A = this chain, B = another copy of it.
């Protein structure tokens, strides 16, 4: 079995799809909130300050792209992170961002 160019392209598209799932502040907040403690939709919505339908729609995007999975608990649905490394990747990017901000601030101090 060998990687054809079109398979590689498909993986790159999936790679981009994951990044695109991360490309919204509310979804980033949702992922961190779920990581901190798996919870149902309404609780997550309250936690990050968005409406229930908005939370449901954002969670659907995260679910479709495989970043979270849903477990039904009675009438509610509990969302879980599928892979801790998603948080690691987010943390890494946030570190890059914070370093950049710190660097710019240091330039202003001079």
Q: Could you list which residues of chain A lie within 8 angstroms of chain B, going by C-beta atoms?
A: 9, 11-20, 22-25, 27-29, 66, 82-83, 85-86, 88-90, 92-101
Does A93 contact B19, Cβ atoms closer than 8 Å? Answer: yes
Does A92 contact B96, Cβ atoms closer than 8 Å? Answer: no
B28, B29, B89, B98: the one contacting A93 at CB < 8 Å is B89
Taken together as a complex, chains A and B put the C-alpha atoms of A52 and B47 apart, in Å, by: 45
Dominant SS among interface residues on chain A: helix
User: Closest approach, in angstroms, between the C-beta of A65 and any C-beta of chain B?
Assistant: 10
Does B92 contact A89, Cβ atoms closer than 8 Å? Answer: yes
Residue of A13, A83, A98 with most partner-chain B CB within 10 A: A83
Contacts of A22 in B (CB 8 A): 16, 19, 22-23
Taken together as a complex, chains A and B put the C-alpha atoms of A52 and B67 apart, in Å, by: 34
Contacts of A13 in B (CB 8 A): 25
User: Closest approach, in angstroms, between the C-beta of A81 and any C-beta of chain B?
Assistant: 11
